[in-house]
């Protein structure tokens, strides 16, 4: 499930929308420093902070999303297959 959330977060980041999410490992991988992470008890505070100044989060999200592409995914997948076959 974490991978699905990470993909959703990456989709939202690529639209320039700030993301506030729990610090799941898959989301951390996809979102890096472009996501505002919050534990459930801290969520309202973190969300308010992001909403008060969304522009830096939007810019960071667009930059982070550019690191991921289908071409790069295909290259990494092919590398894994090559390694498994050798």
Summarised one tens digit per residue, pLDDT across range 55-82 is 999 999 999 999 888 888 899 999 999 9
Summarised one tens digit per residue, pLDDT across range 12-48 is 999 999 999 999 998 999 999 999 999 999 999 999 9
Contact, 22 vs 38, CB < 8 A?
yes
By C-alpha distance, which of 57, 5, 68, 67 is closest to 33? 57
The pTM of the full predicted model, rounded to 2 decimals, is 0.77
Please give the share of the chain, as a percent, with pLDDT higher than 70: 92
**Whole-number Å distance between alpha carbons of 37 and 22:** 5
Token representation of residue 10: 């990456």
């Amino acid at each position: 499930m974490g991978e699905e959330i990470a993909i959703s977060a990456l989709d939202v980041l690529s639209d320039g929308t700030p993301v506030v999410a729990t610090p799941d490992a898959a989301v951390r991988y996809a979102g890096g420093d472009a996501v505002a992470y919050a534990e459930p008890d801290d969520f309202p505070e973190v969300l308010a902070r992001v909403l008060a100044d969304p522009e830096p989060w939007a810019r960071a999200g667009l930059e982070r999303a550019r690191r991921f592409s289908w071409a790069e995914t295909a290259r990494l997948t092919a590398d894994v297959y090559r390694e498994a076959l050798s």
